[in-house]
Structure 1
Amino acid sequence: MTTAGAGAEGLVGGPAGAGADVAGRLVGGVFYGLAMTTSDDVRAIALSLPETTEKIAWSMPTFRVAGKMFATLPEDETSMAVRCPKVEREELVLAEPEKFWVAGHEASSAWVRVRLAALDDLDELRDILLDSWRQAAPASLLE
């Protein structure tokens, strides 16, 4: 991997074969794109979904539709938790462990953790939040 340029501390070229125009960060052996998603992005996208509210619970922001939680931002705000059916969750964790994992206290529930820095872009974040929102939303909002 090559340095992306002067003053680009911590920046490296993309994965092998990605081409010189791809840049990002290598952290703990995991490549992260430059367009890192943040907790502000989570908040903006979640609150743009119909009838979504933000409420502090367990000392962290939670996002709800019709009173049902569909996303949380843990205190360090480097990840989020979203609803995800257990079968899909297992597939996600196996396929992309750099992005998805299951917190110990959520093992028996249908939730998955998402590393914000590992997401490809805002479209991926939006898709994940929308999928979780749909699982919590009442049928009247899904029509």
Structure 2
Amino acid sequence: MVTVDEVRALARTLPRTSEHLIHDRIKFRVGAIVYVAFSRDEQTMGFGYPREQRDGLIAAEPALFFLPRPSDLRFNWVCCHLERLDHAQMTELVCEAWRMVVPKFLARQRLGEPGPPGLR
């Protein structure tokens, strides 16, 4: 199980990240772009993820991942249940969501080159 504090500790290490409380929801963003957000009860986490890959992610682990609300389907976004998420998965998901919103040179500098398709 992953907590908001664990995600916060990781997000604080990612350049250009800022934390905001918007409508009682914790969100992490770079500039104006949110890459991770929590539900009000902090039981679920939404994160940036390529739209074209999200159906495969959800199909692979439907007990963990789920689609965002219908109004957010147009965005590169997926949600997950924190109680079912392990630390390694969280690290990969948060870092790859951050990678989507920062300049490529910065992502390469911090995380290296993107790995093979999967969780990217």
TM-score (norm 2): 0.81
Kindly indicate whether structure 1 or structure 2 has the higher relative contact order, using CA contacts under 8 Å at least 6 residues apart.
2
Q: Alignment partner for residue 64 of structure 1, among 29, 39, 47?
A: 29
Structure 2 letter corresponding to 1:112: V
Distance 1:108 1:98 in 2: 22
Q: Indicate the SS of the match to 1:44.
A: helix
Q: How many residues align?
A: 107
Match of residue 41 from structure 1:
6
Match of residue 75 from structure 1:
40
Match of residue 82 from structure 2:
116
* Counterparts of residues 90-101 of structure 1 (less than 5 Å): 90-101=55-66
Q: Alignment partner for residue 136 of structure 1, among 98, 101, 104?
A: 101
Which structure shows the bigger proportion of residues in helix conformation? Answer: 2
Q: Indicate the SS of the match to 1:54.
A: strand
Q: Indicate the SS of the match to 2:12.
A: helix
Q: Indicate the SS of the match to 2:74.
A: coil
Distance 1:97 1:58 in 2: 28
Q: Deviations over 1:26-65 (max 9, x none)?
A: xxxxxxxxxx111111111112212211012232111012
Structure 2 letter corresponding to 1:95: A
CA RMSD of aligned residues (A): 1.4
Q: Which 4+ residue blocks in structure 1 deviate beyond 3 angstroms?
A: none
Structure 2 spans left out of the alignment, 5+ residues: 109-120
Structure 1 spans left out of the alignment, 5+ residues: 1-35
Larger radius of gyration: 1
Match of residue 88 from structure 1:
53
TM-score (norm 1): 0.69
Q: Percent identity between the aligned chains?
A: 31
Match of residue 90 from structure 2:
125
